[in-house]
Amino acid sequence: MIYNSIIETIGNTPMIRLNKLAKDIKGEVLVKVEYFNPGNSMKDRMALKMVEDAEKAGLLKPGGTIIEGTSGNTGMGLALAAVAKGYKCIFTMADKQSKEKIDILKAVGAEVIVCPTNVTPDDPRSYYSVAKKLNRDIPNSFYPNQYDNMSNSAAHYETTGPEIWGDTDGKITHYAAGVGTGGSMCGTAKFLKEQNPEIVTVGIDTYGSVFKKYKETGIFDEKEIYPYLTEGIGEDILPKNVNFDVIDHFVKVTDKDAAVMTRRLAREEGLFVGWSCGSAVHGALEYAKENLKEGDTMVIILPDHGTRYLGKVYNDDWMRNHGFLEDKNFSTARDIIAQRPANYQLIAVNKSDSVKAAIALMNRASVSQIPVVDGEEVVGSLTDTKLLSKIIESPELKDGKVEEIMEPSMQFVALDSTLDVLSSMIEKEKAVLVRDSNEKIHIITKHDILEVFTK
């Protein structure tokens, strides 16, 4: 068959049976391999749909510029559509994304602006905010906003869902996918549940994301938000494309489990896929072990290709430095706090306390840094070096309140963060904070990490 352009080849990706990885699972486990799309990811589907819907609505005109915040794959899909249709592209990306993703986007003619990861979505430096500002400033530009643009879900409702239903002859009983923008999970799930309401849908989330707790409690808990490494799933916002009504269950997967499974997919199944694919398969198989029965058919979406991650999960040095290789026994934040007494209490100062009182507390406790709280929420921090320099410069500050002199809060990290990750974060910043399984807050300092090596 001869196609008029590359975008006509999007969709109709193959379904492949997992053999070795699912050998102990009752029922059948299939994966839909989306790297067969021309841009090597499932985002090609929704990117083309967003562009074509914008054209129909008059939002995207000839010679226009497409501006989007992306983790890389949506950008590639938009770039292919732009090449075929004659548009320019500018993409903003968080600095945790792989260099390969940035280079690939540049290779297809896009301009890429890299923004910091560890800022809030409404911070003017975030990749969300920078994209919106560019859209305001550049004439004849279009900001697709994959998070809230319902063409995202519609693309999967119209294509991915029907393909899965047809390829399984309607025998699918379980559908699992990572949840980021929510389009592939929810658009597909909506179609499948319309065909058979009994189909069980499983969303895969990551630690550091808000989705699972929000689904189970209805609470948007900012305590759930902290930095994580896995790209493409999880969020610190609630995109409009995430329809919690069509997601029956959520399973959270750690960065390490996702990375290890990604490599196993390549070595044991010949599927050279991306990091979030490992998340999807690990989480789906964990669910399947307890819930699938003979005669069931589970379909898992594998979103993208391994070439995006050659410098990360497929790089032994990178994996080893993050404690993700199985041949090294790394302690974690969980191990550190497990050694603490049951009556452990975080030493902290209230933001309304006087600076004098804070200094006295730090002296009594013999600590060089201390979190600042407002009720149960951590809102800032104090460190002795910066505190001293500020008071020397302005002695009157010692008579003021802590909130007038405090620094930004220490970062929260995942319970399963390894010593490598903890030490690199502490080296760049100050101490870090972690919540245990009972939501109690702990502080981890350089001293805590050094103590591990002396035992």
User: Which CB contacts under 8 angstroms, 24+ apart, belong to 212-220?
Assistant: 212/250, 212/251, 212/252, 214/238, 214/244, 215/244, 215/247, 215/250, 216/250
Q: What is the pLDDT of residue 426?
A: 78
pLDDT of residue 33: 98
Which pLDDT value is given to residue 148?
94
Class of domain 333-453: alpha beta
In this structure, the chain runs to a length of 455
Residue 331 has pLDDT above 90, yes or no: no
Structure-token pair, residue 92? 């903003």
The class of domain 6-39+150-321 in CATH terms is alpha beta
For 92-111, write each residue's pLDDT tens digit. 998 877 788 888 899 999 99
Q: Is the confidence at residue 326, as pLDDT, over 70?
A: no
Q: Cite the beta strand spans of 285-333 per DSSP E.
A: 297-302
User: At residue 272, what is the residue type?
Assistant: F
Q: Using DSSP, how many helices (H) and how many strands (E) does the chain show?
A: 16, 15
What is the rounded CA–CA span in Å between residue 89 and residue 276? 25
Residue 231: what pLDDT? Answer: 87
Partners of residue 302 on adjacent β-strands: 33
Residues 36-51: what's their mean pLDDT? Answer: 97
Separation CA 389–CA 298 (nearest Å): 60
Distances (CA, A) of 278 to 160, 188, 206, 260: 20, 20, 11, 7
CATH 3.10.580.10 domain span(s) along the chain: 333-453
Residues paired with 112 in a beta bridge: 91
Closest CA to 251 of 232, 267, 272, 234: 234
> Helix, strand or coil for residue 372?
strand
Closest CA to 300 of 453, 452, 174: 174
The whole-number pLDDT of residue 453 equals 64
Confidence of residue 201 (pLDDT cuts 50, 70, 90): very high
Average pLDDT over residues 188-199: 98
> How big is the CA angle at 181 (ends 179 and 186), to the nearest 5 degrees?
60
Signed CA dihedral, 158, 161, 165, 168: sign only: positive
Q: Has residue 328 got a pLDDT over 50?
A: no
Q: Which residues are catalytic?
A: 43
Do the beta carbons of residue 182 and residue 244 sit within 8 Å?
A: no
Distance between CA 82 and CA 64 in Å, rounded? 9
Q: Is the pLDDT of residue 204 over 80?
A: yes
Residues of the chain with CATH 3.40.50.1100: 6-39+150-321, 43-142
- Residues 6 or more apart whose CB falls under 8 angstroms from that of 54 comprise 60, 142, 144, 151
pLDDT(142) > 50: yes
Please tell me the pTM assigned to this model.
0.77
* Look-up of token digits 């915040």: 69
Among 245, 271, 242, 275, smallest CA distance to 260 is for 275
Is residue 317 packed enough to be buried (19+ CB in 10 Å), middle (13-18) or exposed (0-12)?
A: exposed
- Span 258-269, mean pLDDT? 96
Taking the C-alpha atoms of residue 423 and residue 255, their distance in angstroms, rounded to an integer, is: 17
Q: Assign domain 43-142 to a CATH class.
A: alpha beta
Which residue spans within 168-292 are E strands per DSSP?
A: 174-178, 200-206, 249-253
Residue in the structure block whose two tokens are 């540049």: 106
Give strand pairing partners of 371. 381
